[in-house]
Amino acid sequence: MSFSSFNLHPQVAAGILASGYDEPTPIQQQAMPAVLAGRDVIGLAQTGTGKTAAFGLPILQRLLSGPRGQVRALIIAPTRELAEQIHTAISELGRQTRLRSVTLYGGVGLPGQIQKLRAGAEIVVACPGRLLDHLGQGNLTLKHLEVLVLDEADRMFDMGFLPDIRRLLRYVPARRQTLLFSATMPDDVGKLAREILTNPVTVQVNHLQPLTTITHALYPVNGHLKTPLLLALLARTDTNSVLVFARTKHRAKKVAEQLKNAGYSAASLQGNLSQNRRMQAMAGFRDGSYQILVATDIAARGIDVTQISHVINYDIPDTPEAYTHRIGRTGRMERTGDAFTLVTPEDRDMVRAIERAMNTALERRTLAGFDYNAAAPAISKGGQNRPYESRAPRSPQRSPSSYPAGRRPSSNGAPSHAPSHAPAAPHSNGSASRSPSHNPAGSHGTPSGRPAANGHHAPASAHAAAQPGPRRRSGSR
Ligand code: AMP
């Protein structure tokens, strides 16, 4: 199938060409005919599948005819990063159409957004809280709205936005086209979909299945050795652009600092940063000034860096869906990528849940030559070594006998805590632990040595809880 089969207006087709898309992705092939026909659509697709263009192109096509200067399409996204990403994608695809898109999200002043609204826009990409603020102040009207898109609806639910979404619906005409995209379909999202969509067409792509171009590996390790193992992995792996996930804001910040201290160009992306700093971190990661970005789940939502070579879960995610979302950041659009997850004995249940959801056993790997038996660093006053801690209280020297799925951190049955069983210098030519499909002990990947630039961060909150826990509100207002 080619894009020409959609009979798009030449100004829209020009955007496809400019964006370098050769042929439609599966979600585009499936969703675009229905969206172009004006149908309501539920799209079960994760980030990285091309879903933005799947709704963006038909919206541009539709808005080409009809009045200008009125808000006729509204896209609601859970985070500012995703809103910016959608705005950028649609602006690029629609450059020749001269249709205008504005973003509305919290963390930045209202006046600039009001000014852009006054200048006139046909497309608004917004986070729910700030959009409600603008609507409450009468800064825009949605009475001319023709298309409503809810993007990453499951994540909006996780972040507690569904009440805001229901409130927003009071401002939009009942007669409209509604599109809902979500990687998963929890009950509450299904209920919302039944309420707000009319006779929808459902299309599904890669639902819960991470892209097949990704190599997954688990690295069992005791909690106190996570950072040394991360550093060892980075030093021995040919990494290009690495996204590291940590469980909390504090841990993200701390790990980024440890990476910087080790000579890497790294930054953290977490909810304590001002919008400017977040944009700076994202831009630095995108343009390569930062080789490594350490993020929490919420902060990383919407990151679109197509050249991400590795996702490393410093902390295992809380749900299989979150695993899929995280891993979806690498291997985007058929590029290959590696996904490493550091797992502690306490992660056993989550490992099982992820393997069940993916319907496959994930490979366990050991890093040859790494001292899995090293002692925990001395615990300084005030819990200074917190990022090494695991979730459940436990002895830092816990026996490795209780690793996830009952396996020790050794692929060959050798006692994991006996580094002498492994080659001492595995760097240059492969190692006992290397799988045929992957090279964890590759020879390149030395720290880039680039100056750490400006990965400054706002002070971490005392409790540092940035997880996408059920119904937690993000600061996107
Ligand atoms: P999305 O899932 O919308 O975040 O898109 C993921 C990435 O795929 C983005 O970098 C898009 O620019 C890119 N993309 C979307 N559609 C296509 C296509 N048909 N061909 C190649 N790349 C695409």
DSSP code, position 332: G
Residue 50 Cβ contacting ligand 1 at under 6 Å: yes
Residue 51 Cβ contacting ligand 1 at under 6 Å: yes
Q: Which of 290, 322, 339 is nearest to 457 (CA)?
A: 290
Distance of alpha carbon 227 from alpha carbon 255, whole angstroms: 7
Residue 318 gets the label, from left (phi > 0), alpha (psi -120 to 50) or beta, of alpha
Dump pLDDT digits (tens) for 258-316: 999 999 999 998 877 777 788 788 888 888 899 999 998 877 765 665 667 788 999 99
Dump pLDDT digits (tens) for 390-405: 333 323 233 333 333 3
Ligand 1 pocket: which of 12, 19, 35 to mutate (most atoms within 8 A of CB): 19
Q: Which of 114, 176, 312 is nearest to 232 (CA)?
A: 312
Q: How far is the CA of 396 from the centre of ligand 1 (A)?
A: 44
Q: Which of 198, 194, 206 is nearest to 46 (CA)?
A: 206
Residue 49 Cβ contacting ligand 1 at under 6 Å: yes
Mean pLDDT, the chain, integer? 77
> Burial of 70 by CB count in 10 Å (0-12 exposed, 13-18 middle, 19+ buried)?
middle
Q: What is the pLDDT of residue 217?
A: 93
Residue 52 Cβ contacting ligand 1 at under 6 Å: yes
pLDDT band (50, 70, 90) for residue 428: very low
Atom of ligand 1 nearest to the CA of 24: 19
CATH classification number, 3-205, choose in 3.90.180.10, 1.10.630.10, 3.40.50.300, 3.30.70.60:
3.40.50.300
Residues 6+ away with beta carbon under 8 Å from 260: 266, 452, 455
Residue 329 Cβ contacting ligand 1 at under 6 Å: no
Distance of alpha carbon 299 from alpha carbon 273, whole angstroms: 10
Q: What is the pLDDT of residue 269?
A: 86
Q: What is the pLDDT of residue 207?
A: 46
Residue of the CA atom closest to atom 8 of ligand 1 = 50
pTM recorded for the entire structure: 0.56
Residue 24 Cβ contacting ligand 1 at under 6 Å: yes
Dump pLDDT digits (tens) for 10-31: 999 999 999 888 899 899 999 9
Are the beta carbons of 301 and 183 closer than 8 angstroms?
no
Ligand 1 pocket: which of 47, 304, 305, 330 to mutate (most atoms within 8 A of CB): 304
Q: Which two tokens stand for residue 97?
A: 């159409």
Distance of alpha carbon 374 from alpha carbon 371, whole angstroms: 6
Q: What is the pLDDT of residue 184?
A: 82
Q: What is the pLDDT of residue 213?
A: 66
Task: Classify 319 as helix, strand or coil.
Answer: coil
Q: How far is the CA of 135 from the centre of ligand 1 (A)?
A: 31
Q: How far is the CA of 440 from the centre of ligand 1 (A)?
A: 28
Residue 7 gets the label, from left (phi > 0), alpha (psi -120 to 50) or beta, of left
Higher pLDDT, 102 or 431: 102
Atom of ligand 1 nearest to the CA of 306: 10
Q: What is the pLDDT of residue 395?
A: 31
CA 466 to chain centre: 14
Q: How far is the CA of 2 from the centre of ligand 1 (A)?
A: 15
Q: Which of 266, 317, 302, 296 is nearest to 465 (CA)?
A: 296
> Burial of 113 by CB count in 10 Å (0-12 exposed, 13-18 middle, 19+ buried)?
buried
Residues 60, 77, 246, 184, Cα dihedral to 10°: -90
Question: Which fold is adopted by the domain 214-424?
Answer: Rossmann fold (3.40.50)
The residues of the chain that CATH labels 3.40.50.300 are 3-205, 214-424
Q: How far is the CA of 20 from the centre of ligand 1 (A)?
A: 9
Q: Which two tokens stand for residue 89?
A: 């994608």
Q: Which helix (H) or strand (E) holds 164?
A: helix 162-169
Distance of alpha carbon 431 from alpha carbon 279, whole angstroms: 39
User: Which one of 223-227, 395-399, 424-428, 467-471 scores highest in mean pLDDT?
Assistant: 223-227
Average confidence (pLDDT) over 207-234: 82
Task: Classify 230 as helix, strand or coil.
Answer: helix
Residue of the CA atom closest to atom 20 of ligand 1 = 21
